[in-house]
Structure 1
Amino acid sequence: MDFILKTIVEVLKGIPNTILISFIAMAVGLIVGTLFAIIRLANIPILSQLIIVYNSFIRSTPLIVQLFVLYYGLPTCLMFSNDHFHTHFNPDMFPPLFIACIGFSLHAIAYLSESMKGGLQSVDRSQVEAATTVGLSTLDTYRRIIIPQAFGYALPNIENQFIMLIKGTSLAFAVQVTEIMSVSHVIANEGYRFVPVYTVAAIFYWLLAIIIEYIFHKFEYKTTRHLSTNQ
């Protein structure tokens, strides 16, 4: 029992980074992903094709490979710049947590852009026409009418992506980030008690997912009521 309590206390120390990575990736993913979705629906030449290629690459390659590319690739690029362009970058200037946040954000963008694309396509076009009729600019139409409704339609997919990010942070230990999985890995290796330690870690991931589901379901209920009144 004492070992379990000690494990719980230690694993709790990894939760802040788990939440931080997930929230940053979700925020960046929603903002950039929405922009990507708008560009694709507008069918802007070259940019649309580049986004399609980006989404395909990110969605078709393992997240851990993407993290390794960033973790080892960024210092390599900085050293290349120092050697060939006489710059003075520190190859270790990017801490592991920063690299993890970048990696998970890039990953989230590809998935959330597809979710927001579906949400944008679900918005009734008659509302867009009405906004144009009353003199709203394109920016105001997107900001006040299209994007809020698209977010509501995409909310279930956004919730699933958030939970996937929470679970996916378990891979961040591979790039030296202290989070739930990395703390659990150290404790398990020290005490050779893998089953109880990883069970505690699994329970923490489960609890985080339950909290996220609860928050999103409350938000989804209010959003659904708002969308139904607008139809």
Structure 2
Amino acid sequence: MRRQHLVETWLVLGVSLGASAIWSALSLIRKLTAEVSLSRQTTAMNSSVTPDRPWLDLAYQLVGIALALVPVLLALHLLSRDDGRARFAIGWDWTRPAQDLVRGLGLAALVGIPGLGLYAAARALDLNTTIAAANLTDVWWAVPVLVLAAAQNAILEEVVMIGYLFTRWSQAGWSTSGIIVSSALIRGSYHLYQGFGGFVGNAVMGLLFGWLYTRTKRVGPLVVAHTVLDVVAFVGYALLKDHLSWL
């Protein structure tokens, strides 16, 4: 059973965030071997696919968000085969919305403020690219799509990287500290496309989120916190990029 659990986790990662980690590492190698220094390169996120056809572009964005959530459904399905109340066991059950919201907002503030400092320092030390967090065209649906993208990132990462992996690796006999560190390193690795600052910042966030999950057994607050962080980054960038030269 231990081997089965481990094989299952690597397969789930292989069709989701593990694959992203591999592509992210290749992206970093490409950027490091370019003639331009890392800090002078820009990483564009949430970009338009067909900017000249806004409604088709909207379809692309929404389909991309929906398909990215399929690994979440897969992870919950696999967990539910052991326990029909799996989503309750990992705290993805909406039974404590107020508590999850308050804790998530506090956690977002705790992570977000130092995160900005780390990003600025990494850029200054030529260890990170410049992040262009939102690059949709000027359309009415840009902000709602960015909010949905933020929520999708949060649900995918926290349900799979925390709720699912912590459950399966625990069943496989891994130590709590080993699970926390392994999950955090994978989290950092699929952000390598941003640079070394992205890796370190997200790995540290993974350590904190993992430790909190072992204390509370709830991914709800983690999803709230992650969503808030990404909404601020995506929507904030979209609204302020033409007004603040340092973005």
Q: TM-score range by the shorter chain?
A: under 0.3
Question: How high is the TM-score relative to the length of structure 2?
Answer: 0.25
Question: How high is the TM-score relative to the length of structure 1?
Answer: 0.26
